[in-house]
Copies of this chain bind each other. A is one copy, B any other.
């Protein structure tokens, strides 16, 4: 099997590596507008060849869209226009908007919407790693709208990478990821800005920053373009969660202002319930 990987950054690059490592494909053809990325991807052996979108799709059995999510909506109809036998899948963090765009496309059923729940705070082809994905969940959305052979191919692919499958409709997916992924990124970015804004003495931060701070603020190193794209695509859900989060922070603020230590401890005891979910 040959795969076209459109967008060879952290996710596309790691996916190409994993598919070859597992023997799922014998050739990965990279497509990327960014020449620095294509040069680096070839140099690192992430892909075997670089080609135009049209030629890469034509030559492939599987097309993997791994560009920032706001670009998928524009690109996906173009890719489907080029498709006959191929299976097309994405690895994007939001789903509803892109599925709406292709809802009545004659080749809609060749597309399988998927979201492997893996990533790091780094970006670009040099951030691609071997052994990504394993042990994590992949969400497949609106499975019933895709051809059976296409779904089976994508399911087998993720299973071979060591992932377990979760099925959801696109709207539910977008709500869930707003809670378990997107809001974490916003809080991390905002926390970094909070500290950078007030702490001018960088040495002091550097000396005192403990492991807890580093872990909370780690995601603030993430790529702005990738995440601006995700937040805009999932705007309404992210706004809902962000409003809820601000009101939760306000409860802590009110406790401190009123010196209400009992309610403060209660808020934290409630937060401790996350232990049941995250071991």
Contacts and interface: CB of A to CB of B under 8 A. Distances in A.
A189 B252 CA distance: 9
A119 B210 contact: yes
Contact of A246 (B192, B208, B250): B250
Given A189-B271, A270-B193, A253 B232 contact: no
Interface in A83-107: none
Interface string A185-210: 11111111111111100101111111
A268 interface: yes
B239 A257 contact: yes
Interface stretch (A6-14, A45-53, A55-63, A220-228): A220-228
A231 interface: yes
B217 A184 contact: yes
A215 interface: yes
A217 B217 CA distance: 11
A241 B194 contact: yes
A235 to B, nearest CB: 5
A227 B255 CA distance: 13
Contacts of A222: 268, 272
A170 to B, nearest CB: 14
Interface string A120-149: 110000000000000011010000000000
A261 interface: yes
A275 B221 contact: yes
A218 interface: yes
B186 A273 contact: no
A interface secondary structure, majority: helix
Interface in A217-267: 217-222, 224-225, 227-228, 231-232, 235, 238-246, 248-253, 256-257, 259, 261, 264-267
7 contacts: A118-B211, A137-B208, A184-B213, A197-B248, A232-B261, A232-B264, A246-B253
A159 interface: no
B220 A274 contact: yes
A188 B225 CA distance: 25
Contacts of A188: 216, 271
Contact of A195 (B119, B121, B136, B274): B274
